[in-house]
C-alpha cells in the first residue's frame, strides 16, 4: 500500500471585480478496489455554496455557487489516499475476447454506446487504417494488440508540454508528430474505437516519486490516459504517454467519452470582456 497526498490549487485573477457564475469542479478522485480515499478537503475563496452530485459517468462533481463580486477566485483541493495497485497486473480476460476481433454481448454493446464509436471525423478512414496496421496475423492476442497500439502512439508522437486549451484531433497529432498527454490519450482511444472496441478518456494525477515518467513534474502532476473495456477483465488502464498498462501509479479523478468533459475547473463570470487577467495552477504530489 502506498499512501500519498495531492494538493491541487487553481487561482483566477481578474483586472476588476466580476460576478462569478456557478463553477463546475471535478477534483475528487474516483474510489475503487485499488484506490481508497482517506480524506478530501475542498476550499473555495470567495465563500461559495458547494453542492455535490454524480454525473452520467459516475464522476463526483461539485458545483460552487457564489454571491457578490471578486477580483480573485481560489480553489484548493487536498486529498489523502492509499494506492494498492499491482505494477505487474494480470488480467482475467474472458475466453471469447482473448483474440481480436471479438464481440461484446448485446448488453455490453448497448451500455458502451458512444464509447465504442469514433468521435472525430475520419472520412478517408485514415485513423482506422493506421490502427489496423498493428493487427498482425489472424486472430492476434487482444491484450498484445492493445499494447502495440499504445506503443505505436508513443512512437508516432513526441511529448510536448502544451499549455494552450483544447486537444488535437487524432489526424492532427499524426501530422504534427507531437502532443501533450491528452493528445496521446485521444489518439489511442480513437484508434481503439476504430477497431470497434469501447474506450474512454481518464483524467487525474500521475504519481511519480522517482521523477522518471514522461509528463511528470516533480513527484507527480495532472495527467490524462485511457481505459479500454475488455470482457472478463473490465476496464483496463493504458497510458500511451509512458507505454504502461495498469493503474498502479495513476490516480483517476474522472472518466468520460470526450476529453472536453474532463475539465477540473470550469465556469464563467459576468463582467468586462477583458476582465480576465490570467490563472495559476499548482499541483503537488507527496
Give the pLDDT confidence score for residue 214 in this predicted structure.
73
Report the range of poorest mean pLDDT among 36-45, 154-163, 186-195, 227-236: 154-163
Distances (CA, A) of 143 to 150, 225, 277: 11, 17, 47
Q: What is the predicted pLDDT for the residue at 162?
A: 72
Considering the chain, what is the average pLDDT of its residues? 94
Residue 146: is its pLDDT beyond 90?
Answer: yes
The answer for residues whose C-beta is within 8 angstroms of residue 63's C-beta and 6 or more apart is 22, 23, 24, 25, 50, 51, 52, 53
Conformational region of residue 263, where left means phi above 0, alpha means psi within -120 to 50, and beta covers everything else: beta
Cα four-point dihedral sign 246, 248, 250, 253: positive
Kindly state the cell numbers that stand for 69.
463580486
Predicted local distance difference test score (pLDDT) of residue 125: 92
Q: Does the domain formed by 2-84+264-285 have CATH 3.60.15.10? A: no
| Helix, coil or strand: residue 3 | strand
Sign of the four-CA dihedral 165, 168, 172, 177? positive
Instruction: Assess contact for 241 and 214: CB atoms under 8 A.
Output: yes
Q: What is the pLDDT of residue 56?
A: 96
Residue with more model confidence, 149 or 218:
149
Tens-place pLDDT, residues 213-223: 776 666 568 99
Q: What mean pLDDT comes out for the span 153-164?
A: 87
pLDDT in tens, 203-214: 999 998 776 677
Three-state DSSP at 106 gives helix
Q: Do domains 2-84+264-285 and 106-261 have the same CATH topology?
A: no
Task: Give the model's pLDDT for residue 1.
Answer: 82
- Report the pLDDT value the prediction gives residue 286, as an integer from 0 to 100: 85
CA trace torsion 114, 61, 281, 15 (10° rounding): 110
Determine which helix (DSSP H) or strand (DSSP E) holds 7, and give its type and residue range: strand 2-20
275 or 208: which leads in pLDDT: 275
Indicate whether 61 pLDDT > 60: yes
**pLDDT(163) > 90:** no
The average pLDDT across 108-132 equals 95
* Percent of the chain surpassing pLDDT 90: 86
Q: What percent of the chain shows pLDDT beyond 70?
A: 96
Of the pLDDT bands very low, low, confident and very high (cuts 50, 70, 90), residue 247 is confident
Q: Average of pLDDT values for 193-204?
A: 98
Domain residue spans of the chain? 2-84+264-285, 106-261
What was the pLDDT predicted at 282?
92
Q: Is the pTM of this model over 0.85?
A: yes
Q: What does the pLDDT look like over 252-271, one tens digit per residue? A: 999 999 999 999 999 999 99
What is d(CA 232, CA 245) in angstroms, rounded to the nearest whole number? 16
**3-state SS record for 139-186:** CCEHHHHHHHHHHHHHHHCEECCCCCCCCCCHHHHHHHCEECHHHHHH
Q: Which CATH number fits domain 106-261: 3.40.1160.10, 3.40.50.300, 3.10.620.30, 3.40.50.920?
A: 3.10.620.30
Amino acid at each position: 500500500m502506498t499512501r500519498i497526498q495531492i494538493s491541487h490549487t487553481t487561482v483566477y485573477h481578474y483586472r476588476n471585480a466580476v460576478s462569478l457564475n456557478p463553477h463546475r469542479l471535478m477534483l475528487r478522485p474516483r474510489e475503487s478496489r485499488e484506490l481508497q480515499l482517506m480524506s478530501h478537503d475542498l476550499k473555495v475563496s470567495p465563500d461559495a455554496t458547494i453542492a455535490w452530485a454524480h454525473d452520467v459517468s459516475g464522476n463526483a462533481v461539485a458545483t460552487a455557487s457564489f454571491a457578490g463580486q471578486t477580483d480573485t477566485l481560489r480553489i484548493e483541493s487536498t486529498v489523502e489516499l492509499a494506492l494498492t495497485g499491482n505494477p505487474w497486473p494480470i488480467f482475467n480476460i474472458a475466453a471469447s475476447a482473448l483474440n481480436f476481433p471479438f464481440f461484446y454481448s448485446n448488453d455490453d454493446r448497448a451500455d458502451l454506446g458512444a464509447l465504442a464509436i469514433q468521435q472525430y471525423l475520419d472520412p478517408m478512414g485514415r485513423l482506422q487504417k493506421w490502427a489496423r496496421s498493428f493487427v498482425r496475423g489472424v486472430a492476434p492476442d487482444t491484450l498484445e494488440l492493445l499494447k502495440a497500439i499504445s506503443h505505436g502512439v508513443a512512437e508516432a508522437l513526441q511529448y510536448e508540454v502544451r499549455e494552450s486549451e483544447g486537444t488535437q484531433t487524432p489526424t492532427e497529432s499524426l501530422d504534427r508528430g507531437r502532443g501533450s498527454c491528452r493528445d496521446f490519450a485521444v489518439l489511442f482511444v480513437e484508434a481503439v474505437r476504430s477497431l470497434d472496441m469501447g474506450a474512454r478518456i481518464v483524467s487525474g494525477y500521475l504519481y511519480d516519486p522517482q521523477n522518471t515518467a514522461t509528463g511528470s513534474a516533480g513527484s507527480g502532476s495532472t495527467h490524462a490516459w485511457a481505459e479500454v473495456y475488455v470482457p472478463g477483465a473490465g476496464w483496463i488502464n493504458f497510458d500511451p504517454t509512458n507505454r504502461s498498462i495498469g493503474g498502479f501509479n495513476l490516480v483517476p479523478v474522472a472518466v468520460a467519452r470526450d476529453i472536453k468533459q474532463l475539465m477540473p475547473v470550469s465556469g464563467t463570470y459576468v463582467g468586462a470582456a477583458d476582465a480576465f487577467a490570467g490563472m495559476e495552477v499548482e499541483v503537488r504530489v507527496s
